[in-house]
Amino acid sequence: MANMSHNNLNAKLVLLGDMGAGKSSLVIRFVKGQFLEFQESTIGAAFFSQTLAVNNATVKFEIWDTAGQERYHSLAPMYYRGAAAAIIVFDITSTDSFERAKKWVQELQKQGNPNMVMALAGNKADLEDKRKVTAEEARIYAEENGLFFMETSAKTAVNVNDMFYEIAKRLPRAQTSQNPAGMVLVDRPAEGSRSSCCA
Amino acid sequence: MTTDSNSSSSESDDQNPNSNIDQSLDAIENQLASISMSSHPPTATSLDEDVVDEENEEEEEEEEVEEEKLVSSVNGSLNEEIVAAQAKVDSIEHEQHIETNCKPGSSSSSFAWRDTTEAEPPLSPSSSGYAGERGSTSGGDDDDIGEVEHDGVLGQWVSGKRHPDEDDASVSWRKRKKHFFILSHSGKPIYSRYGDEHKLAGFSATLQAIISFVENGGDRVKLVRAGKHQVVFLVKGPIYLVCISCTEEPYESLKGQLELLYGQLILILTKSVNRCFEKNPKFDMTSLLGGTDAVFSSLIHSFSWNPATFLHAYSCLPLAYTTRQAVGAILQDVAGSGILFALLMCKHKVISLVGAQKASLHPDDILLLSNFITSSESFRTSESFSPICLPRYNPMAFLYGYVHYFDVDTYLILLTTSSDAFYNLKDSRIRIETVLLKSNVLSEVQRSMLDGGMRIEDLPVDPTSRAGPMYPHLGLPRPATDSSGRIRDAHVGIGGPAGLWHFIYRSIYHDQFVASEFSAPINSSRQQKRLYRAYQRLYSSMHDKGMGPYKTQFRRDENYVLLSWVTQDFELYAAFDPLADKALAIKTCNRVCQWVKNVENEIFLLGASPFSW
Ligand SMILES: Nc1nc2c(ncn2[C@@H]2O[C@H](COP(=O)(O)OP(=O)(O)OP(=O)(O)O)[C@@H](O)[C@H]2O)c(=O)[nH]1
Ligand SMILES: [Mg+2]
Which residues have CB under 8 Å from B259's CB, separation 6+?
Answer: B234
Q: Is residue A20 within 6 Å of ligand 1 at its C-beta?
A: yes
Min Cα separation B288/chain A (Å): 5
Q: Is the ipTM of this complex over 0.95?
A: no
- pLDDT attached to residue B92: 27
Q: How many CB atoms lie within 10 A of CB B385?
A: 27
pLDDT for position B603: 96
In angstroms, the separation between the Cα of residue A173 and the nearest Cα of chain B is 24
Q: Give how far Cα B338 sits from Cα of A36, A46, A137, B230, B326, Å.
A: 36, 21, 48, 47, 21
Between chains, do B423 and A190 touch, taking CB under 8 Å as contact? Answer: yes
Cross-chain Cβ contact A194/B269 below 8 Å = no
Q: If you average pLDDT over residues B76-84, what whole number do you get?
A: 30
Judging by beta carbons within 10 Å of its beta carbon (0-12, 13-18, 19+), is residue B322 exposed, middle or buried? exposed
CB contact (8 A) between residue A71 and residue B269? yes
* B287 touches A at CB < 8 Å: yes
Task: Tell me the pLDDT band of B285, cut-offs 50, 70 and 90.
Answer: confident
Whether the pLDDT of residue B325 is over 60: the answer is yes
Cβ contact (<8 Å) for A71 and B268?
A: yes
What tens digit of pLDDT does each residue of A18-74 get?
Answer: 999 999 999 999 999 999 999 999 999 999 999 999 888 899 999 999 999 999 999
Q: Give the residue from chain A lying closest to B418, CA to CA.
A: A78
CA of A92 to the centre of ligand 1 (A): 12
Least confident of B277-281, B532-536, B572-576: B277-281
The pLDDT value recorded for residue B217 is: 66
Identify the H or E element spanning B253: helix B251-269
How many angstroms is it from B296 CA to the middle of ligand 2?
19
The CA–CA distances, whole Å, from B142 to B62, B64, B123, B517, B562 equal 11, 16, 17, 22, 19
Q: Do the Cβ atoms of A47 and B268 come within 8 Å?
A: no
* A22 Cα: distance to centroid of ligand 1 (angstroms): 3
pLDDT at B462: 66
Neighbours of ion ligand 2 (CB under 5 A): A 23-24, 42
Place B373 in a pLDDT band, splitting at 50, 70 and 90: very high
Question: DSSP for B118-174?
Answer: TTS-TT---BTTBPPP-TTTSTTTTS-TTPPP--SSS--PPPS-S-TT--TT-HHHH
The mean pLDDT value for B506-526 works out to 91
Give the residue, B346 or B248, on which the prediction is more confident.
B346
Q: How far is A144 from chain B (nearest CA, A)?
A: 32
pLDDT of residue B407: 95
- DSSP classification of residue A40: P
Q: Is the model more confident about A164 or about B202?
A: A164
CB A25 near ligand 1, within 6 Å: yes
Does the CB atom of residue A71 touch ligand 1 within 6 A?
Answer: no
Q: Does the C-beta of A112 come closer than 6 Å to ligand 1? A: no
Long-range contacts of B559-565 (CB under 8 A, 24+ apart): B559/B132, B559/B133, B559/B135, B559/B530, B559/B534, B560/B501, B560/B531, B560/B534, B561/B499, B561/B585, B562/B534, B562/B535, B562/B538, B563/B113, B563/B589, B564/B538, B564/B539, B565/B98, B565/B102, B565/B589
Q: Are strands B239-245 and A4-5 parallel, antiparallel or unpaired?
A: unpaired
Query: Of the given ranges (A122-126, B185-189, B290-294), which has the lowest mean pLDDT?
Result: B185-189
Q: Which of B73, B77, B134, B157 is nearest to B520 (CA)?
A: B73
CA distance A198 to chain B (A): 11
Is there a contact between A43 and B423 if contact means CB atoms under 8 Å apart?
no
User: Does B170 have pLDDT greater than 90?
Assistant: no
Residue B66: pLDDT band (50, 70, 90) is: very low
Nearest by CB to residue B290, choosing from A24, A69, A75, is A69
pLDDT at residue B150, as a whole number:
36
Give, as one character, the DSSP assignment of residue B344.
E
Q: Tell how far the Cα of A41 is from the centroid of ligand 2, in angstroms.
A: 5
Q: Which residue has the higher pLDDT, B80 or A140?
A: A140
Residues paired with B242 in a beta bridge: B181, B233
Question: What is the average pLDDT across B187-199?
Answer: 78
Most confident of B66-70, B147-151, B389-393, B550-554: B389-393
Across the range B14-29, mean pLDDT stands at 44
Reported as a pLDDT band with limits 50, 70 and 90, residue A113 is: confident
Range scoring the smallest mean pLDDT among B287-291, B447-451, B470-474: B470-474
Q: Which ligand is nearest to the CA of A20?
A: 1
Are the C-beta atoms of residues B555 and B118 closer than 8 Å to each other?
yes
Which pLDDT score is estimated for B160?
Answer: 59
Reduced 3-state DSSP string for B524-563: CHHHHHHHHHHHHHHHHHHCCCCCCCCCEEEEECCCCEEE
Predicted pLDDT at B126: 32
Residue A53: in which H helix or E strand, if any? Answer: strand A45-54
The mean-pLDDT minimum among B224-233, B344-353, B382-391, B554-563 falls in: B224-233
Across residues B152-163, what is the average pLDDT? 49
pLDDT of residue B363: 96
pLDDT at B15: 40
Q: Is the CB of A23 under 6 A from ligand 1?
A: yes
More confident position, B212 or B234 = B234
Residues B177 and B138: their CA atoms lie apart, in Å, by 14
Residue B55 has pLDDT above 60, yes or no: no
Please name the residue whose Cα sits nearest to atom 16 of ligand 1. A39
**For B95-104, B204-213, B384-393, which range has the lowest pLDDT when averaged over its residues?**
B95-104
B424 touches chain A (CB under 8 A): yes
